[in-house]
Structure 1
Amino acid sequence: MAWFYPVFATATSTETASPTLILAGVLLTLIVIYFASKVGGELCSRIGLPAVLGELVGGVVIGVSALKLVIFPEGGLSGDESLIIQFLETTANLEPSSAEKVFDTVSEVISIFSELGVIILLFEIGLESDLKELIRVGPSASVVAVAGVVVPFALGTFGLDYFFHLPLIPSIFAGAALTATSIGITAKVLAELGQLSSKEGQIIIGAAVLDDILGIIVLAVVASLAKTGEIQISQIVYLIISAGAFLIGAILIGRLISPWLVGLVNQMKTRGDILITGLIFAFTLAYIANVIQLEAILGAFAAGLILAETEKRKELEEQIIPVADMFVPIFFVCVGAKTDLSVLNPAVPSNREGLIIASFLIVVAIIGKVVAGFTIWAQPEVNRLAVGVGMIPRGEVGLVFAGVGAASGALSPATDAAIIVMVIVTTFVAPPLLKLVFKEPVPTTETETKVN
């Protein structure tokens, strides 16, 4: 998961950029994103595929791989390559000297909206989850999470080192990228399939949350290894303690103060009393998680779990839907927009080595998570294959690993491309595979069918 980007990074970065033009750029970008999400989602829904896959494909079409309507500077692109910036220059008198500053700021705003989207999605998923059920499936989820990290990491690292003769640090980085799970993508597909509240769905969500925690620790370890050549044990211990203390503490303290929050809401007389109070609570926990070097989405998920145990649960679920409808598509479209399919072109000689390594990583990525699903014991009624498939998509989480590895200089262009290809394939194959393995739909609530 990417960290937040400040809207105004420095005082000089936007001093000559007109706020009016920045707003115009943001509005145009949102128009394109919403249009792509709806067209893609509708098309996929009509052919029996999860709508989230359509949003990802819509993002690919408008992103760096095709139309270049929605692109981001972290991909090495400039404002000159953005069709939206070109449109502003033509229609809104944007000066070429200010174009790059407007492009950077618009990109940062959209990135923040994207992050808000996944935070709200995980808050909504938390509201629809049952804390007691999550605790009940906790042992199974823990085993799946640990196996889902250890198996692909070991297979990937060993395979790259032994069969492809890659240096150890790049092999470790690529192996670490295989450990990730994109909880946002899986959670949305489960909601669309009406499987979010099933035992399999709860195990997947619980394991994916633990995967995020383990992923943060693995990323910190390999980043430290690439930077200093040694592992900082103190940092690992800090992350483990802070992650456990945050989740347990947030839930325990939250359950104590939730009756007070409900009483406060009952005394309010203005519009949005439940929704705004819920968002304040979710954003507070997301902020705390973020500043202690955990993922903001973990805080939002914990907030949803806590408020799901109150009498306001159903009302809050209904009121969060329009907010999710506005922000969540931005996240999925942006994931697709940042996906560079040019790394899949075998006609480019530099891509060929990466594609060969990518083929190996894709096999390991899928097998490693499927094997993790089969580690569930003494529960013959659980669809183990569905649990494993639910852990397959790497999404934006895997891209973070690739980005950190490339920035550290530890990855060669071929290895970096291989990781990106693995992320692309696992992200796009997981939604239809999930629908395939969940052959028998369970009864769904109205809220679950509307998660977007």
Structure 2
Amino acid sequence: MNYADPMEIVSTAWVNFITPFSFPLWNKTIPVLATATPEAENAPLVLGGVLLSLVVIYLASKIGGELSNNIGLPPVLGELVGGVVVGVSALHLLVFPESGADSSSSVIMSFLQSTGGLSPDAGVGVFQTQSEVVSVLAELGVIILLFEIGLESNFRELMDVGIQALLVAVVGVAVPFAAGTAGLMILFGIPAVPAIFAGAALTATSIGITSKVLSELGRLNSKEGQIILGAAVIDDVIGIIVLAVVASLAKTGKVDVSNVFYLIISASAFLLGAILLGKVFNKSFMMIAEKLKTRGSLVIPAFIFAFIMAYLAAAIHLEAILGAFAAGLVLDETDKRKELERQVCPIADMFVPIFFVTVGAKTDLGVLNPAVPSNREGLIIAIFLIVVAIAGKVVTGLAVFGQPQINRLAIGVGMIPRGEVGLVFAGVGSASGALSEATEAAIIMMVILTTFLAPPLLRFVFQEAPAVPVKESD
């Protein structure tokens, strides 16, 4: 009697099960294994390709992050640059089909051919499947990142900052978004959807980068420091809503006003409902966590909740990352928030670098090479985005009123760095297919430069004028 190959049975069963459930993350249906499943005998090579990709990713993230940290810059910037180095722009260690690469241009595929007996013909399927698995891991990484950001966002502290932070945040979102979108459409003739996507990428502010610099300067508890941090939190909330709107617009390729209103209302209602849910859910969550006695009794229920919220957001045509962010906001109110943050941190350390390195690896900076005539427009777009990104945040200090001695320039400069939040926009835009190579690379250049400039500029502007201390009544 002839028995079927167990690997083939498992592979076929998995494909038949998962195909109906292809999940529309970032409005892009991911073809899970079914579209490019290699023969069963090549399955170990797919695993080998994924493992080698992870080795490259983690080496790039750690080396880049350490070098960046040693020169006083955020590690996330080094992870991005590390991804650029190992990706399609340089070493071709980590390349993806959506970047225009194929199996013949992948160093990992060449290594598998020379050491694992992979044939060139089979390499096409292995490369496709390996790339899809790494992309899914990267998308899972950004979901975990937004869940972590939600855990770190404290609405009670945000309310204490007052109307000043709200005005700064609104101006910091509206000005760069409007100027960037209109400028790209009018000056460069870019279609509405990619122009809106690029404009939305200009709205972000990195809480992590700004808070680190303010802490090093001893200005974290100053009036300027609290306004900056409060505005950055609101900026992220507004930015997530904007991201949900523009990413959904990429589905249809056109701007539907009624759809925009629906998304704004549904996104706002989703976040508000999540916050209200927190008051009811927190006690139930803690009761469940306290009854569980095995490993992961706190963090596993938290991730179950986060993934359910991510699914619900996707089910109502929002972004999965919005649901993860909302889940973080809900669990932020629990009694064990600090413990939960501590347990989520190592998981984020494993998955989040995959996202950042992958974003860098997929970015072909060669499209900004001024020596190539066809690239010069992309370089000009990058310069335009950088100018709007800096000016659009610096003017936010003018929104502060009733504070004659406050350092308005410091507030504006503190809102400049995009950091990991800006990369989220770039990554989602890339996954949706809304951005051209030149526009995506221009956004990455904007994120890099604003992140580089913010720390030294903050030090400079705080040295120029004394910060206003926070009064006890505030």
Q: Could you state the TM-score of these two structures normalised by the residue count of structure 2? A: 0.80
Query: What residue number does 1:114 align with?
Result: 138
Query: What residue number does 2:455 align with?
Result: 435
Q: Which has the larger radius of gyration?
A: 2
CA contact (8 A) 2:180 2:202 kept: no
Shift of 1:418: 4.7
Query: What residue number does 2:238 align with?
Result: 210
Moved more, 89-98 or 53-62: 89-98
Query: What residue number does 2:201 align with?
Result: 180
Shift of 1:109: 1.4
Secondary structure, counterpart of 1:152 in structure 2 = helix
Using a 3 Å threshold, how does the CA distance of structure 1 residues 400 and 258 change in structure 2: closer, same or farther? closer
Query: What residue number does 1:13 align with?
Result: 36
Using a 3 Å threshold, how does the CA distance of structure 1 residues 172 and 296 change in structure 2: closer, same or farther? closer
Q: Tell me if 1:424 matches 2:447.
A: no
Query: What residue number does 2:268 align with?
Result: 244
Using a 3 Å threshold, how does the CA distance of structure 1 residues 12 and 118 change in structure 2: closer, same or farther? closer
Letter in 2 for 1:271: R
Letter in 2 for 1:330: I
Structure 1 CA distance, aligned partners of 2:318 and 2:240? 9
Secondary structure, counterpart of 1:132 in structure 2 = helix
Using a 3 Å threshold, how does the CA distance of structure 1 residues 44 and 385 change in structure 2: closer, same or farther? same
Shift of 1:59: 0.7
Gaps of 5+ in 1: 408-415, 441-452
Shift of 1:207: 0.8
CA contact (8 A) 1:148 1:179 kept: no
Letter in 2 for 1:385: G
CA contact (8 A) 2:89 2:365 kept: yes
Letter in 1 for 2:383: S
Query: What residue number does 2:62 align with?
Result: 38
Using a 3 Å threshold, how does the CA distance of structure 1 residues 433 and 40 change in structure 2: closer, same or farther? same
Secondary structure, counterpart of 2:175 in structure 1 = helix
Query: What residue number does 2:297 align with?
Result: 273
Letter in 2 for 1:203: A
Query: What residue number does 1:389 align with?
Result: 416
Query: What residue number does 1:336 align with?
Result: 360
Deviations 1:402-430 (A, max 9, x none): 776767xxxxxxxx455234312211123
Shift of 1:203: 1.9
CA contact (8 A) 2:138 2:352 kept: yes
Shift of 1:118: 2.0
Shift of 1:98: 1.9
Q: Within 5 Å, which residues of 2 pair with 1:246-395? A: 246-372=270-396, 374-378=398-402, 380=406, 383-391=410-418, 394-395=422-423
Structure 2 CA distance, aligned partners of 1:368 and 1:152? 5
Q: Tell me if 1:189 matches 2:189.
A: no
CA contact (8 A) 2:137 2:354 kept: yes
Q: Could you state the TM-score of these two structures normalised by the residue count of structure 1? A: 0.83
Letter in 2 for 1:389: I
Structure 2 CA distance, aligned partners of 1:311 and 1:298? 23
Shift of 1:172: 6.9
Using a 3 Å threshold, how does the CA distance of structure 1 residues 7 and 90 change in structure 2: closer, same or farther? farther
Shift of 1:14: 0.2
CA contact (8 A) 1:5 1:112 kept: no
Deviations 1:93-127 (A, max 9, x none): 12222212211221121112112222222222222
Using a 3 Å threshold, how does the CA distance of structure 1 residues 111 and 192 change in structure 2: closer, same or farther? farther
Moved more, 312-321 or 81-90: 312-321
Shift of 1:247: 0.3
Count of residues in Structure 1 that have an aligned counterpart in Structure 2? 425
Structure 2 CA distance, aligned partners of 1:244 and 1:212? 10
Shift of 1:194: 7.0
Structure 1 CA distance, aligned partners of 2:165 and 2:316? 24
CA contact (8 A) 1:56 1:335 kept: yes
Letter in 2 for 1:433: L
Secondary structure, counterpart of 1:155 in structure 2 = helix
Structure 2 CA distance, aligned partners of 1:424 and 1:106? 25
Using a 3 Å threshold, how does the CA distance of structure 1 residues 7 and 151 change in structure 2: closer, same or farther? closer
Shift of 1:298: 2.2
Shift of 1:264: 1.2
Q: Within 5 Å, which residues of 2 pair with 1:84-123? A: 84-123=108-147
What RMSD in Å do the two structures reach over aligned CA positions? 3.2
Deviations 1:40-95 (A, max 9, x none): 11111112221111111111110110001111111121121111111111111122
Gaps of 5+ in 2: 1-23, 463-474
Structure 2 CA distance, aligned partners of 1:425 and 1:315? 36
Aligned residue among 175, 199, 202 for 1:151? 175
Using a 3 Å threshold, how does the CA distance of structure 1 residues 267 and 216 change in structure 2: closer, same or farther? closer
CA contact (8 A) 2:25 2:320 kept: no
Using a 3 Å threshold, how does the CA distance of structure 1 residues 120 and 374 change in structure 2: closer, same or farther? farther
Deviations 1:296-324 (A, max 9, x none): 22222222222222221122122112111
Moved more, 9-18 or 94-103: 9-18
Structure 2 CA distance, aligned partners of 1:157 and 1:148? 14
Structure 2 CA distance, aligned partners of 1:121 and 1:154? 27
Shift of 1:136: 4.1
Query: What residue number does 1:28 align with?
Result: 52
